[in-house]
Amino acid sequence: MSDLAGWGNYPRIPTEQLVPARAEAIAPLLAGRSGLVARGQGRAYGDAALGMATTLTSSRLNRMRRFDPASGELTVEAGVTIADILATYVPRGFFLKVVPGTKFVSIGGAIAADVHGKNHHRDGGFGDHVIALR
């Protein structure tokens, strides 16, 4: 058990934290558990990413899997952060359509919260640019 909190550091909740390093390791970790919540980088306000019993943290699921420069499509694991993507692809001339107020959000968290940027009136939320989810 460890105490976890969101970005605002309140509330702090005791939870069993699971931190798989590979996607294949997730299913066996879930067997027989309830009250589980997935967590990215913990940048959610309040308690959105805190499991009352168990929290599955995606921080080690942080690999960029595939990029197609012709289409701009990028395949990543849930724990990749917007900062990771910007550091890798801005020098190559690519930028994300939607970027929230912090670049330290995980992609899994950005999808789960459907974060938005200053351009949401024009380009929508993060989820509007997700092609597939597995």
Question: Domain spans of the chain?
Answer: 2-57, 64-129
Residues 91-106: pLDDT tens digits?
Answer: 999 999 999 999 999 9
Asked whether the whole model's pTM tops 0.75, one would answer yes
Residue among 79, 108, 110 at smallest CA distance from 97: 110
User: Are the beta carbons of 41 and 105 closer than 8 angstroms?
Assistant: yes
Q: Alpha carbon of 84 to those of 15, 32, 81, 104: distances in Å?
A: 27, 34, 5, 9
Work out the angle at residue 17's Cα, subtended by the Cα atoms of residues 79 and 41, and round it to the nearest 5 degrees.
30
In angstroms, the CA 131 to CA 118 distance is 21
% of the chain beyond a pLDDT of 90: 82
User: Are the beta carbons of 126 and 116 closer than 8 angstroms?
Assistant: yes
User: Are the beta carbons of 58 and 39 closer than 8 angstroms?
Assistant: yes
Q: Is the pLDDT of residue 133 over 80?
A: yes
Q: Is the pLDDT of residue 8 over 90?
A: no
% of the chain beyond a pLDDT of 70: 100
